[in-house]
Structure 1
């Protein structure tokens, strides 16, 4: 082994390979250096970098010639540098053995989620450079992941999404009937692993059967020099049963599960990542009928209590609009006593030697069920740590020792 050779030079982060960072956190780690003999070092530098970049090649025809144009753009989010060993003019001699140099960086508050696409990416890495006299610099790097939180518990992302389309089925320039499609989902924001309940109505007025389908589509948009490039991919899909001629079919919450995909990216100037739910009907002999509803894939799941009242209210109105398990706004009044109990039953009860005594604690008249119906479809109250009806002084328990 040559004198002064470097046996090992690597980077190690405090979090494991599966650990992700977010804006505002501290990025901590250490540089590991293993040398076989005393080593003269001028400087040891650690740098943190993060940026988004897009690039692709466009070809255009100008007359009889083909002209190529390279489109590229970049945006920097992180640029930090730290000196672990300073260059003081004289090299520093490190003894043989194992050496560790810790480092720490404060990440900016605003970052963009890591992403890898065909025409662009968002990447973050740590790079360490070892400078020695009269020897080329030794470098090592390590990539880390950033995931910015996208909270779906906002009014805009909890609002229902709906749409309707129709199309005239044609064959050999003859109208063969009207095919209509309407679909609705209970909210706009979802997280990976959740199930999207799809409510749809397919009305086939044509003379041939049609096939309804649904899919979650990811759209990657890359921007550079005033040009755009898009790439679409289906991440989840389902197919329904064929709808025969003159038939009408309802999807009452057809489930479509979201696979593990990256969150939506909107706050980047060079690339966007969006999602949509596409419900379509394949019509033989005619282009398919397509309906697209916007989706946002987030990282913060739906709170079970914080948005309960809004989600319950929107879900109830959602069902009312579609006529699925329609709930009455005002429950019907209970029937009259004479309509339920006949005169013969009243006469028999009056002759009973043990008549029922009225309970003085009961202030309600009529059966309990009539009053239960009134509150049956109301949303539950919001959870609170404070008692809305605190006990009065007269009701508080007294101390036995007083």
Structure 2
């Protein structure tokens, strides 16, 4: 998908943007950010958080006290994972971003071949490469970069960190680079989630898993719930052999995982639980409603390359031996605007 520029209602300090097109203000006065003739580069974003499946928009402002020759002016967004337990070398490995998009705002992109980059550098040293000359004044460049719906959200927890960073990069004709970079928050927007069958199994004393004669049907109007809200459902238990079920517990669990050489569960926490006591434990059919709340402080569902956060709705039947049923749900940050 090509990267296109679109309008953005950004709030800029001392930057009147009556027309949202890349342009130049040729006024000779330049504010204090560009003293001593040094180009000043700033990134202004349209909002505090950005949502997957939508666009990241903003404006890059370049202030020049005098004409300057440049190679390129670009804006990029990169996503990186820093899993718990990963080596420092792996965490700092260059080019390890799982997501990287760059948009050219002015000039020409850096050559990809090492020989071409070396030739460009040599010609710059000899003064043969002049680049593109920008006039003194204030240059404003709006930008808009699509964020795929499949991106994991920003995260910092027991399993590590997922971070997104926006960087404006000005490369002068001399080879010097000026950057302005900031971390942004990316929020997951849930897509239509296909229901998965509930796992019907229970552990025995030897740790093996076997099927059971008891059947459970869980009705969930929605398998997706916003943080701070509740997931509502109804359970129906078919118990044809009249096995005593004195208590049924419904719970909501969040599991934080790291996948390195092997999968490793870092943290499992039960965030909410509710209990149902059947009036007749040996009844052939048991029905009950339940409601479980996902706390606002909990992490959202994440499916990263090395970091995962999985939410499980679990039903535990206090039989002998105990029987457990579980199904995944999606928890996401509320979408505003």
1:382 alignment partner in structure 2: none
- Structure 1 residue runs without a partner (length 5+): 59-67, 169-180, 300-402
1:384 alignment partner in structure 2: none
Structure 2 residue 252 is matched with structure 1 residue 216: yes
**Cα 1:101–1:147 shift into 2, 3 Å:** same
1:231 alignment partner in structure 2: 266
Match of 1:145 among 186, 189, 193: 186
2:223 alignment partner in structure 1: 189
* Relative contact order higher in (CA < 8 Å, ≥ 6 apart): 2
Please state how far the C-alpha of 1:127 moved relative to its aligned partner: 0.9
Counterpart secondary structure, 2:85: strand
Report if aligned partners of 1:43, 1:83 keep a CA contact under 8 Å in 2.
no
Looking at structure 1, the residues matched to 169 and 315 of structure 2 have their Cα atoms a distance apart, in angstroms, of: 53
Counterpart secondary structure, 1:57: coil
Looking at structure 1, the residues matched to 130 and 43 of structure 2 have their Cα atoms a distance apart, in angstroms, of: 26
Give the 5 Å matches for 1:2-401. Answer: 2-5=35-38, 9-13=41-45, 15-22=46-53, 26-35=55-64, 37-38=65-66, 40-57=68-85, 74=96, 76-86=98-108, 89=130, 92-96=133-137, 98-105=138-145, 111-116=150-155, 117-132=157-172, 137-142=177-182, 143=184, 145=186, 147=188, 149-152=190-193, 154=194, 156-157=195-196, 161=198, 163=200, 165=202, 184-187=217-220, 189-192=223-226, 193-199=229-235, 213-224=249-260, 226-234=261-269, 236-240=271-275, 252-259=288-295, 264-266=301-303, 268-280=304-316, 289=322, 291-297=324-330
Report if aligned partners of 2:312, 2:328 keep a CA contact under 8 Å in 1.
yes
Counterpart secondary structure, 1:3: helix
Tell me the C-alpha RMSD between the 2 structures. Answer: 4.8
Looking at structure 1, the residues matched to 104 and 313 of structure 2 have their Cα atoms a distance apart, in angstroms, of: 46
Report if aligned partners of 2:52, 2:149 keep a CA contact under 8 Å in 1.
no
Please state how far the C-alpha of 1:238 moved relative to its aligned partner: 2.5
Report if aligned partners of 1:113, 1:148 keep a CA contact under 8 Å in 2.
no
Looking at structure 2, the residues matched to 194 and 145 of structure 1 have their Cα atoms a distance apart, in angstroms, of: 23
Looking at structure 2, the residues matched to 182 and 69 of structure 1 have their Cα atoms a distance apart, in angstroms, of: 49
TM-score of the superposed pair, with normalisation by structure 1: 0.49
Looking at structure 1, the residues matched to 84 and 294 of structure 2 have their Cα atoms a distance apart, in angstroms, of: 30
- Structure 2 residue runs without a partner (length 5+): 1-31, 109-123, 206-213, 333-337
Report if aligned partners of 2:131, 2:173 keep a CA contact under 8 Å in 1.
no
**Cα 1:28–1:205 shift into 2, 3 Å:** closer
Report if aligned partners of 1:54, 1:222 keep a CA contact under 8 Å in 2.
no
**Cα 1:251–1:71 shift into 2, 3 Å:** farther
TM-score of the superposed pair, with normalisation by structure 2: 0.56
Looking at structure 1, the residues matched to 269 and 162 of structure 2 have their Cα atoms a distance apart, in angstroms, of: 21
Looking at structure 1, the residues matched to 199 and 263 of structure 2 have their Cα atoms a distance apart, in angstroms, of: 28
